[in-house]
Chains A and B, each alone.
Chain A
Amino acid sequence: MAFHIDKLEKRWIYMVAGIVVMAWGIQIYYAAQGWHPPSNVEVIDSAQLHLASGVGGDEFSEQNIGIKRDENGMLVVTMVAARYGFYPQEITLPQGEPFKMRIASFDVLHGIYIPLTNLNLMLVPGYVSEVTTTVNTLGDYPMLCHDFCGMGHAYMFGNVKIVPADEYKL
């Protein structure tokens, strides 16, 4: 070799190259297995979210959004994120009881985050985002959009009220 590379430098170069190759390996390995971000993958036609005609049916139509219990007695919150708000805008949930959040975007990329809880989802148009979680502390929480969605992003939020389970009425 025409130029000298120090032994120590060489060692670092090998280490960095090794990390890069390992990262590629992990990516390719999981991509080949069809892995994807967490939560369920369920497609829906975001443009026709308010109609029954699109892919995914009318689960997120205006009549069907809100809080319901499914056949197993599980609380299911069906919501829509649309420029610029979450609909229904204000929801009430019981303390300490698990609920399933199912939410879809009507237009562009949105996100939903309820601070101090682990409810944090990315809402990609064309997909239903779902998570099951429990809120154990009473109080009023905001629902925030945390993925830039347009000029009204900073104004996109709703309210969640957590009430004692025995006072909760659906």
Chain B
Amino acid sequence: MTFTPRSPLRIAAVIVALALPVTAQENTGPSTNVAWTINTLNLLRSGDPERGAKLNTKLECATCHGDTGLSTNETWPSLSGQPAGYLFKVLKDYQDNKLSGTDRGQLMAFIVEEMTDQDMVDLASYFAANPLPPAQPVTKQDAAETLDLLGDPKRLIPPCSVCHGKNAKGDFPDFPALAGQSPDYLKRSLNNFRAGERGNDVYSRMRLIARRLTDEEINSIAAYFAAKGTVLAQE
């Protein structure tokens, strides 16, 4: 199957994929096939941002995720400023059907089906080179701030910031940035982790945390990290 940019066939395929009923696949193998070996790290270093910029248009990532990886719509996540390792891992997980527990995961699995590893690292290095999304309006979120900085030892929840980085900028190799991300997406991700529909976190690290969070905390976390973003993250 070959696609030309914005061909009617491709657009029809995306619509069909979106309309498919969710058939949660039983995930039997490991959570992810990506391992941070020397070979993977060398592959990641070989990423070419210029080719990535071209692929962003050619493969129509830009249609939903924006020209520079800055999503124009609350419903799709922004990719701009994410650590390259995270972007590569997630693309690989989509391709390996590790994220097919949700309808969006299945849509992405369909889109990345024919991508090569080199395409993935090129795209990853392009989005990683762009700045984090701008901060959304700040509201005081006490519950989320406590979880971000101190966690909750009684519930075995480590602080968000120890893995996701100071001001949620993300961290090497595959800890995603949360700063400035769409609150809809953050909320959806946490709920998917909690329900086990998203399970590409090795040793269930995020699933265990998400199961111990209350609905109020999830809402608070989504608003809190959305309000970080470029301005705060560059401090």
The answer to whether A and B belong to the same complex is yes
Chain A interface (Cβ < 8 Å from any Cβ of B): 45, 47-48, 50-51, 53-54, 61-62, 65, 80, 82-85, 87, 89-90, 106, 150-152, 155-159
Interchain CA distance A127-B30 in the complex, whole Å: 21
Taking CB atoms, residues of chain B closer than 8 Å to A90 are 156
Interchain CA distance A50-B35 in the complex, whole Å: 8
Residue of B nearest to A54 (CB): B35
Taking CB atoms, residues of chain B closer than 8 Å to A85 are 156, 158, 205, 208
Q: Are B161 and A62 within 8 A (Cβ)? A: no
CB distance from A51 to the nearest CB of B (A): 6
Residue of B nearest to A60 (CB): B203
Q: Are B208 and A84 within 8 A (Cβ)? A: no
Say yes or no for B37: interface residue by CB 8 A criterion: yes
Cross-chain contact of B30 among A51, A150, A158 (Cβ < 8 A): A51
Interchain CA distance A82-B173 in the complex, whole Å: 14
Nearest first, the 10 A-B pairs at minimum CB distance are A152-B162, A155-B158, A151-B162, A48-B35, A87-B203, A84-B158, A47-B37, A50-B30, A152-B158, A50-B202
Can you name 7 A-B residue pairings with CB atoms under 8 Å? A50-B32, A61-B30, A62-B204, A87-B204, A90-B156, A106-B202, A106-B203
CB distance from A145 to the nearest CB of B (A): 11
Q: Are B36 and A50 within 8 A (Cβ)? A: no
Most B CB contacts (10 A, CB to CB) among A65, A85, A106 go to: A85
B66-109: contact bitstring with A at CB < 8 Å (1 yes, 0 no)? Answer: 00000000000000000000000000000000000000000000
CB distance from B166 to the nearest CB of A (A): 8
Interchain CA distance A82-B159 in the complex, whole Å: 15
Q: Are B162 and A50 within 8 A (Cβ)? A: no
Interchain CA distance A62-B202 in the complex, whole Å: 8
Interchain CA distance A106-B204 in the complex, whole Å: 13
Taking CB atoms, residues of chain B closer than 8 Å to A150 are 162
Interchain CA distance A51-B37 in the complex, whole Å: 12
B144-180: contact bitstring with A at CB < 8 Å (1 yes, 0 no)? Answer: 0000000101001011011100000000000000000
Q: Are B31 and A62 within 8 A (Cβ)? A: yes
A80 with B37, Cβ < 8 A, contacts A89-B208, A158-B156, A159-B156 known: no
B16-32: contact bitstring with A at CB < 8 Å (1 yes, 0 no)? Answer: 00000000000000111
Q: Are A82 and B30 within 8 A (Cβ)? A: no
Q: Are A155 and B153 within 8 A (Cβ)? A: yes
Taking CB atoms, residues of chain A closer than 8 Å to B36 are 47
Residue of B nearest to A155 (CB): B158
Most A CB contacts (10 A, CB to CB) among B33, B35, B151 go to: B35
Q: Are B156 and A89 within 8 A (Cβ)? A: yes
